[in-house]
């Protein structure tokens, strides 16, 4: 069974590599996947976090972005429950 929640860890990557990894994960995500948790970290700065949030805000497969209590993570919501 495919998990409804998946995650990908991209902290330490540059923007190009992180976008490629996230895009590949989104492409492989089935319709059963509700949320993709992107772990980008924040201790090294917020450049990667801000780039991910801006880039995927209007992505066709991402319904919305949710910000949790952990500033090192961004949740990409792919469908409604």
User: Which tens digit of pLDDT belongs to each residue from 52-76?
Assistant: 999 999 999 999 999 988 999 999 9
DSSP string, 15-64: HHHHHHHHHHHHHH--TT--EEEEE--STT-SHHHHHHHHHHTT-TT--E
User: Which tens digit of pLDDT belongs to each residue from 16-47?
Assistant: 999 999 999 999 998 899 999 999 998 878 89
pTM to 2 decimals?
0.91
Domain boundaries, the chain: 5-77
**Does domain 5-77 sit in CATH 3.30.1370.110?**
yes
Beta-carbon contacts of residue 55 (< 8 Å; ≥ 6 apart): 19
């Amino acid at each position: 069974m495919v998990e409804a929640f998946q995650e990908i860890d991209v902290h330490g990557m540059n923007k190009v590599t992180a976008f490629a990894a996230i895009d590949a994960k989104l492409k492989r995500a089935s319709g059963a996947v509700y949320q993709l948790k992107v772990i980008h970290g924040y201790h090294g700065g917020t450049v990667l976090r801000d780039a991910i949030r801006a880039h995927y805000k209007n992505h066709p497969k991402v319904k919305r972005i949710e910000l949790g209590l952990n500033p090192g993570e961004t949740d990409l919501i792919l469908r409604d429950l």
